[in-house]
Structures are given as structure tokens and as C-alpha cells.
Amino acid sequence: MTLRFTLPFRTAWGQRLVVCGSLPSLGQWNLDQALSLHYQPEYGIWSQEIDLPEDQAGTVDYKYILLDDQDGGKHWEWAQPERGLRARPV
């Protein structure tokens, strides 16, 4: 199963977005292991895909984080609780 994370978001020079969450491929809430998103300027969106093994199907919780390489800022998404989705094998 493929999960696609997509977020339309404007950033300043030196800023980037990552996804951190409950899966190993999302860092298991360890920001140093979070999934980096790639910016697509032609669409104005940040996105990335991951393949989810069937044994990891279930509820996936995650948040987007804005990282600022200029000042070291780590700005976690304000959504409470975390975003979540139910991943089921087809």
C-alpha cells in the first residue's frame, strides 16, 4: 500500500517540511527520523510517498513539522489530536 503525504504550504528560504508519526518510516515520533517532504514549485506543494508493508496496516498518526535551518526552529503542526488515517490492505 502506498501512502502519499501532500501539503500546499509556502515556506521561506531555509525552511522545509517533514512528516513525523507513529510508523517506523515516519520516525516513530522521533523528529530526527521523520520523513522529508519534497517541494514541487510548479504546484506549490510539498509531498512524498511511502510504501506501507501489510504488517503495518492499521491506524497511522502523524503531524507535519516546519523545520527552519536558519534559526533551528522546529514548529510542530497545531492540530490536536494528531492527524490520523486508517490504512487497510487491499
Segment 3-43, tens digit of pLDDT: 899 999 989 999 999 999 989 999 999 999 999 999 999 99
Alpha helices in the chain (DSSP H): none
Q: What is the DSSP letter of 27?
A: T
| CB atoms near residue 37 (< 10 Å) | 20
In the numeric block, which cell numbers belong to residue 15?
525552511
Interval 43-57: pLDDT, tens: 999 999 998 877 766
Q: Rounded to the nearest 10 degrees, how much is the dihedral formed by the CA atoms of 3, 59, 35, 41?
A: 50
- In this prediction the pTM is 0.83
